[in-house]
Amino acid sequence: MKKGDLVGYYDVIKKKIQLREIKVGVVGLGYVGLPLAVEKARAGFDTTGFDIQPQKVDMVNQGHNYIGDVIDDDLAELVIARNVRCIYSIVQKKRLMAQKFWFWGLLTNKTSMIIVRVLRLE
């Protein structure tokens, strides 16, 4: 891909972000991932969370919060509006692969810094 092609591509992505046309995914619904998913959904993005623990996924999909940094009513409102939903099974792969951007959030033990990695899928 040429440099000029990248500039055009980034302009398209930037416009889609501004118009809230992209779909966002968050991997891991712990104390980094769930607040991140809620914030992306609150900002107007169609957001899907993924976690390997079905209990967490079921709780979020029912609008029940288990993280102190997330306001219960905010989560419930976003779930009812279908701005945020969560999956845990590869059987739900169609929903998983529909996301264009995935965010991985983790807290490092050594530095106590939150690292968020963005992966673009195509």
Q: What is the pLDDT of residue 31?
A: 84
Residue 9 in tokens: 């591509």
Q: What is the pLDDT of residue 97?
A: 56
Q: Does 96 reside within a domain?
A: yes
Q: Does 10 reside within a domain?
A: no
Which range of residues forms the domain containing residue 115?
Answer: 22-120
Name the domain count of the chain.
Answer: 1
Please report, to the nearest 10 degrees, the dihedral formed by the alpha carbons of residues 64, 69, 70, 72 taken in order: 60
Indicate the pairing of strand 23-27 with strand 46-50.
parallel
Span 76-104, pLDDT tens digits: 999 999 888 888 865 565 555 555 555 55
CATH code of the domain covering residue 71: 3.40.50.720
- The C-alpha R_g of the chain, in whole angstroms, comes to 15
Residue 68 in tokens: 């102190």
Span 56-76, pLDDT tens digits: 999 999 999 998 889 999 999
